[in-house]
Amino acid sequence: MILELADIRIHPGQQAEFEQAAQVGLDTVLSKAKGFVSYEIRHSIESPERYVLLIEWETLEAHTVGFRASPAHAQWRAIVGGFFAQPPFVEHFGVVAASTS
């Protein structure tokens, strides 16, 4: 399992519209992708224009090869791309350790 962490800055004042669009895009496009496992949308308390998307994939390639080369990628960007104040910063993370509870 690989975590995609996307660090997003949106244009000011568009929080409600972005949140609605992102959820639609995740539920209707991302969630249907091969190798998709789960997602969370999180909103920064300190930085009102900052969001992180936490997306779990079965493998790194499910995102970087499978999803990004599919028509779904353009569909996703069409839904949310207009809200981005700058290109999202995306990296992928393996698990080192986690609490057991």
Question: Residues interacting with a copy of itself, by CB under 8 A?
Answer: 2-3, 5, 19, 22-23, 26-27, 31, 38-47, 50-52, 54, 60, 91-99, 101
Q: Which residues of 49-85 are buried (b: 16+ CB within 10 A; e: fewer)?
A: bebebebbbeeeebbeebbeeeebbeebeebbeebee
In the complex with a copy of itself, which residue's Cβ is closer, 54 or 75? Answer: 54
Paired tokens of 32: 């249907």
Residue 69 CB, shortest distance to a copy of itself, in Å, is 18
Residue 5 CB, shortest distance to a copy of itself, in Å, is 7
In the complex with a copy of itself, which residue's Cβ is closer, 69 or 96? Answer: 96
Q: How many CA atoms lie within 13 A of 64 on its CB side?
A: 11
Residue 64 CB, shortest distance to a copy of itself, in Å, is 10
Residue 45 CB, shortest distance to a copy of itself, in Å, is 5
Q: How far apart are CA 56 and CA 62, in angstroms?
A: 10
Tell the residue number behind the tokens 């996307």, with chain if given: 6
In the complex with a copy of itself, which residue's Cβ is closer, 73 or 92? Answer: 92
